[in-house]
Amino acid sequence: MTTTEALLLGRRRGLAVTMVVGFAAVIAVSLAVALVAELADLPTAAALTDRVIPVLVFYAPGPIAAAGAYARCGGPACLAVGVVPALVFAGLVLLGTTIGVPGVGEGGAPVEGVATSFALVGLSGAFVGYCAGVTAALLVDLVGRGQVTDD
């Protein structure tokens, strides 16, 4: 597989799946901890999650996509990382609404609007990160220290 095919389509499917599913698990656990901390009225945990959740949702997709592109996980997996926070958020809100968790899904902004905003921000960050990772991989290949062997 050529370098271009590896960067666009991906050579390491297992690593790509691990990257996307692992990031989804981290987001899900963080959001669940934030919800439990808010419901249990734990100010220290709530303050911590108030700082960690925005970093995970808005800033983490770019560097994760860059690392995935450099590792030749492929464009689809790297861009999927940008949509993961929105999908996990929407899934947890729907689950919380279905089972009747207090404070979840009551009033406020519609879920689809918030999830769409999360997806657009995450996708744009993941795209920039993917481009940076591809550029880094091509530069390293140009220097001669890259992963040019076929797996």
What are the helix (H) ranges across 9-147?
13-39, 43-54, 61-70, 75-99, 111-143
Q: What is the pLDDT of residue 18?
A: 92
Q: What is the pLDDT of residue 142?
A: 81
The domain segmentation of the chain, as residue ranges, is 3-143
The pLDDT of 115-128, averaged and rounded, is 90
| Nearest of 66, 50, 70 to residue 125 by alpha carbon | 66
Q: What is the pLDDT of residue 22?
A: 94
Position 1 confidence tier, pLDDT thresholds 50, 70, 90: low
Q: What is the pLDDT of residues 46-96, one digit of tens each?
A: 777 778 888 888 899 999 999 999 988 888 999 999 999 989 988 888 887
* pLDDT tops 90 at residue 131: yes
The per-residue pLDDT of the chain, averaged, comes to 82
The residue among 51 and 2 whose pLDDT is bigger is: 51
pTM here is 0.80
CA distance 129 to 63: 6
Q: Of 7-21, 44-58, 123-137, where does the model show the most confidence?
A: 123-137
